[in-house]
Amino acid sequence: MYRDKYFFLLPGLVVLIAIIIFPLLFTIRVSFSSWDVFQPGLDYIGGRNFARVFEDTRFWESLLRLSVLSVSSVLLQYVIGFALALAVWREIRFRRFFRVLFLVPMMTTPVVMSVIWRTIFHESLGPANDILQAIGLGTVPWLSTGTAAFISVLIVEVWQWTPFMFLLLLAGLVSLPREPYLAAAIDGAGPIRTFLQVTFPLMAPITIGAIIIRLIEASKIMETVYVMTSGGPGTATETSSYYIYIRGLRDFQIGYSAALSLTYLVIMIVSLTIIAKVLARMLLPREG
Amino acid sequence: MARIELVNVAHSYDGGKEYALKPLNMVWEDGRTYALLGPSGCGKTTMLNIISGLLKPSEGRLLFDGVDVTDSNTAGRNIAQVFQFPVIYSTMTVAQNLAFPLVCRGYPDHEIRRRVDNVAGLLGLSDKMQMPARRLTADLKQLVSMGRGLVREDVSAILLDEPLTVIDPQMKFELRRKLKQINREFGITMVFVTHDQNEAMTFAEEVVVMKDGEIMQRGSPQDLFERPDNTFVGYFIGSPPMNFLDARLEGGTLVCEGLGYHAPVQGVPAGARMQLGFRPEFVVLDGNGADIRTRARVEHVDNLGVEAVITLSLSDGQIVRAKQQGRFRAIAGENLGLGVRAENLQIYCNGQRLG
């Protein structure tokens, strides 16, 4: 008599299948084909695409680069975001103004702000080098040497996403209970002890959440690289998603890029799960 | 240890529009136990936070042993405070928690160890010293919170802000006993905020009843019980609350027909609201040995195990509650004798006790 209930699940299931299950299954199917610009079609070539992935050093290098970029940018975002949140947490003048100001980078379109940053970092026309020259530090080849280009991308990432971190951490700070702070004041703890023993432990769950959310987002970095450096110079700033984009939508090796995407997806799921577990073990007290 | 004096202290959270604490003068004597009792929002916590320095009073001065400490911060006042909900440092062990106030003050290691061991022994935490504090149960956490106040042997006072709210009833009794023991042993002044009258009456040598930022009465538990200064204290303390019967002035005589009361009264303004007050505990059923006697109809009886509360109506319709030891057998509608001794009867004029 309850069989009717499945009927009511149908709309949700159809949407789920259409937007998640089907594309995923289709990608898996495509990854076993040699679909490319010359021979579009779903043939079957076994695991050859995946064998190629394992030998593709350019992919693994881009993955390593992505790990360094996302981990370091997220850590920087966390530190700066936390510092800013602590700064505007307490009563200070123009608090509301600062809160809004800090959120501006997050609200701008990534492509637009990447263009702006590319202009800022322009070696002969950009203000970054003008300023460095004015204070006598000489010019930096921002986008034309590997390391500098990598750092430029890092700066833009941090600039754009620190506000998000700031917002999450500020929301966390505002919701903290008052008593532990009163108790710490009575116990005679100074600001540093109070931060280490009260604020930081209380913020641990929010810290984990914020870092994981940002890591997931940061590992998808694409627009910044595309607009600022196009992965260059050489492959110095090429990240996984950008490399997959090149293979799939520039070279039209659909089958191979599907295999790359799946490999990337599995690696991401595994590594982010591990990171979340490790963070939780490090920061969260275990009950019982 | 210190004598704490509040001189014209008042506090308002909104710049003087409304006072959370109305101007008052008060002295907390050294080494005594006090209870601050009152309904929620009556200014108990405000008063406590002013003493501990978490809050600066908008008016008045605060003296510790005659020294003005109004402007010094919490650390400077050397006050310990325990909050309603246990506060522990979740990353530390029990021992580290207890040591924290001493570590913050830069005490030498051996001194810290001696004091921590001492307090742990007193609170019965010795076998849990290496446990992470977050794994303790709520009542043990609260013990640790108290312990952090006690390790500082030189504290001026320990302020307890409803510290037993989260504790099991059996544990409450035990903890109260421990607190009293600590008070006797170290002679530390203790101020205990609560809205539970039993807690206040059993813990404190002196009880301060507050309402709307004002002190309603201050005195020993017995005073508060037997001779409430005003009808609020009568209602607030005791369960069931004090009986208040409306009475009428006829010339110089106070009359309460329901109770059969006629007595001359002096110094009462005309048109004042007169009430007779007596505790349910002091009602004598049958009326034997009572000075004031009448008959009343039983409305209903609540047998509460060791005691019974009997609700009766007088001939003029006013309700009286009586409290008796043991079970009480009566049928609703039955007529009983009812009496009160004159010394247990208080007269209230506009809510204030006469005489």
Which residues of chain B neighbour A202 with C-beta distances below 8 Å?
A: 90
Enumerate residues 6+ apart whose C-beta is below 8 A from B254. Answer: B247, B248, B261, B262, B263, B264, B265, B268, B274, B276, B347
Q: What is the maximum span of chain B, computed from C-alpha positions, in angstroms?
A: 77
Judgement on whether residues A24 and A67 belong to the same structural domain of the protein: no
pLDDT average, residue stretch B225-251: 88
Q: Are residues A161 and A270 in the same domain?
A: yes
- Torsion, Cα of A58, A64, A70, A76 (10° steps): -130
Cβ–Cβ gap B104/A198 under 8 Å: no
Asked if A24 reaches chain B (Cβ–Cβ under 8 Å), the answer is no
Is there a domain that residue A52 lies in? no
B319 vs A188, which has greater pLDDT? B319
Residues A18 and A91 in one domain: no
Chain B contact present for A179, CB below 8 A: yes
Question: Given an 8 Å threshold on Cβ–Cβ distance, is B100 in contact with A186?
Answer: no
Residue B26: predicted pLDDT: 86
Q: Same domain for A23 and A67?
A: no
B83 and A287 within 8 Å at the Cβ level: the answer is no
Tally of CB atoms within 10 A around A83: 12
- Asked whether residue A221 is assigned to any structural domain, the reply reads yes
Please judge whether A197 and B87 are an interchain contact, meaning their C-beta atoms are less than 8 angstroms apart. no
All residues of chain B having their beta carbon less than 8 Å from the beta carbon of residue A207 are none
Cβ distance of B91 and A179 shorter than 8 Å: no
Q: Is residue A8 part of a domain?
A: yes
Same domain, A100 and A10: no
Among the listed residues B107, B10, B108, the one whose alpha carbon sits nearest the alpha carbon of residue B58: B10
Pair (A8, A94) in one structural domain: no
- CA angle, A145 as apex, A141 and A148 as ends, to 5°? 70
Structural domain range at position A74: 59-283
Q: Which CATH number fits domain B242-353: 3.30.70.100, 2.40.50.140, 1.10.460.10, 3.30.390.10?
A: 2.40.50.140
The answer to whether B44 and B36 are in contact (CB under 8 A) is: yes
Distances (CA, A) of A75 to A68, A78, B99, B258: 11, 5, 33, 79
Distance from CA of B64 to the nearest CA of A (A): 17
- Cβ–Cβ contact A205 with B under 8 A: no
Q: For residues A24 and A136, state if they share a domain.
A: no
pLDDT surpasses 50 at A217:
yes
- Location of structure tokens 């001779």: B227
Where do the structural domains in chain B lie, given as residue ranges? 4-232, 242-353
Q: Do A197 and B100 touch (CB under 8 A)?
A: yes
Query: A73 and A166: one domain?
Result: yes
Across the interface, whether the CB atoms of B85 and A188 are under 8 A apart is answered no
Share of chain B above pLDDT 90, in %: 6
Are B104 and A190 a contacting pair at CB < 8 A? yes
User: Which residues on B lie below 8 Å from A187 (Cβ)?
Assistant: 100-101, 104, 148
Look at residue A285 and tell me whether its pLDDT is greater than 70: no
Distances (CA, A) of A260 to A38, A247, B140: 19, 9, 55
* Minimum CA–CA partner of B131 in chain A: A288
Whole-number percent of chain A with pLDDT over 70: 97
Residues in chain B: 355
Distance to chain B for A178, nearest Cα, Å:
10
Any domain includes A279 = yes
- Rounded mean pLDDT, A169-194: 87
Q: What is the mean pLDDT of residues B22-47?
A: 86
Q: Is A190 on the interface with B (CB under 8 A)?
A: yes
Stretch 71-100 of chain B: residues touching chain A, C-beta under 8 Å: 73-75, 79-81, 83-85, 87, 89-92, 100
Whether A197 has its CB under 8 Å from any CB of chain B: the answer is: yes
CATH number of B4-232: 3.40.50.300
Does A53 reside within a domain? no
Residue A234 has what pLDDT? 81
Q: Are residues A9 and A88 both part of a single domain?
A: no
Q: What pLDDT does residue B186 have? A: 79
pLDDT at B77 over 90: no
Is A186 in contact with B54 (Cβ distance < 8 A)?
yes
Q: Point out which residues pair with B160 in neighbouring strands.
A: B82, B192
Interval A91-135: pLDDT, tens: 667 777 877 887 788 888 888 888 888 888 888 888 888 888 888
Number of domains in chain A: 2
Same domain, A88 and A2: no
Tell me the CATH number at A193.
1.10.3720.10
B318 in A contact zone (CB under 8 Å): no
Region at B324 (left for phi over 0; alpha for psi -120 to 50; beta for the rest) = beta
Residue A74 CB-half CA count within 13 A: 22
CB contact under 8 A, B81 and A201: no
Nearest to B91 among A179, A183, A201 (CB): A201
pLDDT of residue A288: 39
- A192 and A241 in a single domain? The answer is yes
CB contact under 8 A, B84 and A185: no
| Residue from the list A179, A190, A193 with its beta carbon closest to the beta carbon of B83 | A179
Tally Cβ neighbours within 10 Å of residue B221.
Answer: 19
> Is A132 domain-assigned?
yes
Nearest to B74 among A186, A202, A288 (CB): A186
Size of interface A-B (CB pairs under 8 A): 57
- Summarised one tens digit per residue, pLDDT across range B94-119 is 888 889 988 888 889 998 999 898 88
Query: B148 and A285: CB-CB below 8 Å?
Result: no
Q: Is B100 in contact with A183 (Cβ distance < 8 A)?
A: no
Q: A186 and chain B: CB distance < 8 Å anywhere? A: yes
* Residue A206 near chain B (CB below 8 Å): no
In the sheet with B33-37, reading across from the earlier edge strand, the strands are: B79-82, B157-161, B189-194, B33-37, B206-211, B214-219
Inter-chain residue contact A188 with B104, CB threshold 8 Å: yes
Residues A227 and A143 in one domain: yes
Please answer yes or no on whether A287 and B135 come within 8 Å at the CB atom. yes
Establish how many alpha carbons lie within 13 A of residue A219's alpha carbon, considering only the half-sphere containing its beta carbon: 17
- Pairing verdict, β B214-219 and B21-28: unpaired
ipTM for this model: 0.72
What's the pLDDT score for residue A92?
64
Mean pLDDT of B197-214: 86
